Amino acid sequence: MSDNTPVAVPTPAFPGGTVLGYPRIGRMRELKKALESFWKGTTTEADLEATAKELRSVTRERMAGLGLAKDDSSIPSNFSFYDHVLDASVTFGAIPTRFARLRKDDGSVDLAGYSTIARGEGADAPLEMTKWFDSNYHYLVPEIGPETTFALSSTRWVDEFTEAKGAGYLTRPVITGPLTYLYLAKPSDDAPTGFAPIERLDDLLAVYVELLAAFKAAGAEWVQIDEPVLVADIDADRADVLANAEKVYAALAAAAERPQILVAAPMGSLEDALPVLAASGVEAVALDLVKGAVPEGVDLAGLTVVAGVVDGHNIWRTDADKALAKLEAVAALGGAVAVGTATSLFHVPHTLEGEEHLGEELLSWLSFADEKIGEVVTLATALREGEDAVADALAETRAALASRAAHPGTNRADVRDRLAAITPADRDRAAYPVREAAQHERFQLPELATTTIGSFPQTPEIRKSRAAWAKGEIDDAAYEAAMKAEIQSVVKLQEDLDLDVLVHGEAERNDMVQYFAELLDGFSVTKNGWVQSYGSRCTRPSILWGDVARPEPMTVRWAQYAQSLSDKPVKGMLTGPVTILAWSFVRDDQPLSVTADQVGLALRDEVTDLEDAGIGIIQVDEPALRELLPLRKRDQAAYLEWSVGSFRLSTAGAKDDTQVHTHLCYSEFGEIIDAIDGLDADVTSIEAARSRMEVLPAIRTHGYERQIGPGVWDIHSPRVPSTQEMTELLSLAKESIPGRQLWVNPDCGLKTRGYEETVASLENLIAATKAVR
Ligand code: GLN
Ligand code: ZN
């Protein structure tokens, strides 16, 4: 080595291409099945370990087969049994006091203990679950207090590296960074008021230093430390966040024994945090260049930049020309450039293999995790050897993109014309007092009217009928009859219980988004496109690829049938445009606002058809309204403007005496109260039981004039709340909101509940209402 080798160039260099992480659940959801049978007790801890080991082995082999090298740290080692943030908690020994019994002598927990922390046991609530940034993944919130003892308590991360090494793979361990870990944590129950977990940064840093040394000793050459918190505006002063970033990465860079460090910043732009990281002494930084822009005016000489030009959070084939242009722009900043994904690939399904039913053309526009690895490899080759080296792949990509742009389904004149003709008046209904009077006249509902959120238990029989129908084992008429029988029994039950506003129970819906996706133009549905939502739970998002239109009514015949069975109003039930977008993979070739309005128009027609069929109360659910809220405050107003606008477009065609309801699945209502007010629904139901009506005083202060249904029954567990308990909650609610504005309902839909607890809880809910009335 010559004397003038610049010291800043990492040795060995970062590989030319990599992905920030790979799906953990398994192509055939092997991990889900292994976890669930372990929890049921039909398999042992050793069985679960064996399945996980096999899955990690298959995963490494697959990534290598797709073109990532086995020996240069380009293959990430990011396995998790349940959640990567929980893994950090158990690795650092940060286990809440109520689970201290699960700790073994050496501080570690076994897989049974780990599962208990994730899922709770008896009176010991599990760690709280929250959305991971603006994705549909949920992590387990660490609980940190002044008393939390941080100590390296698990060898799993290092062992998994060693396991791979033993199999001939030099992988790159991926861990959650100290800033993200502590800023996402909440104060433990025993912490004094005003305590913030970030106060424990120094103590936690010491454990990271120890961990880095352990990776180094095991032979790791690179480690990836994820810090998505740096791309978000959080509840902490940005200057403090940056000061902490400087402190953390200077300290880790200065650690005596460590692998080289890649700090990854998925989900947005680092902005002012980039110069801080660049100056810290870490060797590499991964940037999200899909959500974030190529930085300008920073000198990155001496740093390796992993340019995240392949979208890890959505499923569209990468525009290789645009990606190459971004790579060039990054190279101009002076650092070494590697090709990467913008985020970990755990947000997308494993593979397009087996999805041939989507048709060759749509398939050619798509890229799931495995195909994305191929894209990274192609771009890295182009960067290293020139575009000629991958001319065929680039030509194929260009052809696919051209076919997507030219496809008539992505640009329908009928849809576009209607969209262009929308006026502001299309998003407005009559003033609320006018509607209220008309609705009161029509429905004569009592004070504290009772209702449910929509779904009733999805029994095994319902699922069996649907599966049999999908397989062609029963015909349409038989399926229809089975669903009608279910509706009939749900309506009868609600009449017997004496609820005021009924629902049909949603038996015919496999999922509140997919049901609509299957009936609307512009969507396709995968067979096996599962994505981890939390723990063993997966969702199968639909693909919204084209202009959205409604070929025919989607819910009317079910609603009409249900209404024919009762003199009481039965609510029509729709999923709102923002939620349909949030829980699908949405086209990226036009602003979300345009797509949302297309969905809004389709729903608007459904509302009219429901009205014409005699349905007087229509609920449009928007549980995901808050989920898509941008991570940066400055982007939030624009988001709320179009998201609220698309909801209003879907509902504002309703007549004055049609009562529009909406449902939002969370209680952190306070921070977007203006937006919720802006939805202009006549009745809004929210989650409130667990937080004991905490948000109602803020709603009163806000001057909210319409009606609200704060949930009095937490439906997330099988527990039956007593009449007494719900009476108290209702009395509490009445302290903030006058009775004529209040509704009584559960926190959310009942599809995951059983009938036994449903009937018992609803009986108590009605009894409590009658007591308080
Ligand atoms: N109407 C839906 C249901 O009751 C709402 C579900 C939700 O909020 N996620 O199931
Ligand atoms: Zn809900």
Structure tokens at 518: 């299957």
User: Which ranges constitute the DSSP H helices of 93-200?
Assistant: 111-119, 156-166, 178-184
HSE-up of 491 (CA within 13 Å, CB side)? Answer: 21
Over residues 179-184, mean pLDDT: 98
* Helix (H) or strand (E) run with residue 306 in it: strand 304-310
| pLDDT for 4 | 42
Ligand 1: residue of 512, 574, 583, 620 to mutate (most ligand atoms within 8 A of CB) is 512
| Cα(6)–Cα(19) distance, integer angstroms | 27
Provide the percentage of residues in the chain whose pLDDT is more than 70: 99
pLDDT tens-digit series, residues 448-489: 999 999 999 999 999 999 999 999 999 999 999 999 999 999
Is the pLDDT at 769 greater than 70? The verdict is: yes
pLDDT at 667 (0 to 100) = 67
- Say which residue the tokens 């009592």 belong to: 446
Cα gap 127→139, rounded to integer Å = 9
Which protein residue's CA is at the shortest distance from atom 4 of ligand 1? 749
Instruction: Report the pLDDT value the prediction gives residue 5, as an integer from 0 to 100.
Output: 40
> How is the chain split among helix, strand and coil, in percent rounded to 5?
45, 15, 40
- Predicted confidence at residue 691, as pLDDT, reads 85
> Which pLDDT tens digit goes with each residue over 713-742?
999 888 899 999 999 999 999 999 999 999
pLDDT for the residue numbered 125: 86
Per-residue pLDDT reduced to its tens digit, 268-281: 999 999 999 999 99
Those residues whose C-beta lies under 8 Å from the C-beta of residue 512, and which sit 6 or more positions away, are 455, 506, 575, 579, 621
Q: What is the pLDDT of residue 8?
A: 52
In percent, how much of the chain has pLDDT > 90? 93
Ligand nearest to the CA of 620: 1
Question: By the 8 A CB rule, do 574 and 620 touch?
Answer: yes
Considering the four listed CATH numbers 3.20.20.210, 3.40.720.10, 1.10.3720.10, 3.30.360.10, the one that applies to the domain covering 30-407 is: 3.20.20.210
pLDDT-wise least confident of 31-40, 53-62, 201-210, 658-667 = 658-667
Domain definitions of the chain by residue range: 30-407, 434-772
Statement: residue 304 has pLDDT above 70: yes
DSSP string covering 371-410? HHHHHHHHHHHHHHH-GGGGHHHHHHHHHHHHHHHH-GGG
- Token pair 């038989």 is found at 478
| Burial class of residue 495, CB neighbours in 10 A (0-12, 13-18, 19+) | middle
Report residues near ion ligand 2: CB below 5 Å. 623, 665, 748
Q: Which amino acid appears at position 152 of this protein?
A: L
Query: What ipTM was assigned to the predicted interfaces of this complex?
Result: 0.99
**Number of the ligand closest to the Cα of 619:** 1
Phi, psi dihedral angles at 287 (to 5 degrees): -110, 140
pLDDT at 682 over 60: yes
Q: How far is CA 17 from CA 171, 288, 365, 373, in A?
A: 13, 14, 22, 9
Q: Which helix (H) or strand (E) holds 540?
A: none
Atom of ligand 1 nearest to the CA of 619: 1
Can you tell me the mean pLDDT for 218-231? 98
Q: What pLDDT digit, counting tens, does each position of 386-428 carry?
A: 999 999 999 999 999 999 999 999 999 999 999 999 999 999 9
Mean pLDDT, the chain, rounded, equals 96
CA of residue 621 to ligand 2 center, whole Å: 8
Residue-wise pLDDT tens digits, 35-47: 999 999 999 999 9
Q: Is the pLDDT of residue 249 over 60?
A: yes
What SS3 class is residue 297? coil
What is the pLDDT, as a whole number, of residue 198?
98
What DSSP line would sit under 614-672, residue for residue? Answer: T--EEEEE-TTTTTT--SSGGGHHHHHHHHHHHHHHHHTTS-TTSEEEEE---STTGGG
Q: Mean pLDDT across the stretch 531-553?
A: 97
Could you tell me how far CA 372 lies from the centroid of its own chain? 20
Average pLDDT over residues 299-323: 97
Position 679 scores a pLDDT of 96
* Residue-level pLDDT at 2: 39
pLDDT mean over 647-652:
98
Q: Is 215 left (phi over 0), alpha (psi -120 to 50) or beta?
A: alpha
Of 347, 350, 357, 716, the active-site residue reads 716
The residue whose C-alpha atom lies closest to atom 3 belonging to ligand 1 is: 749
Phi and psi at residue 758, to the nearest 5°: -65, -50
Question: Which residues approach ligand 1 with their CB closer than 6 A?
Answer: 453-455, 506, 512, 573, 621, 623, 663, 665, 748-749, 751
- Going by CATH, does the domain composed of 434-772 fall within 3.20.20.210? yes
If one residue of 451, 455, 499, 625 were mutated to test the ligand 1 pocket, choosing by the most ligand atoms within 8 A of its CB, it would be 455
Q: Is 663 a catalytic residue?
A: no
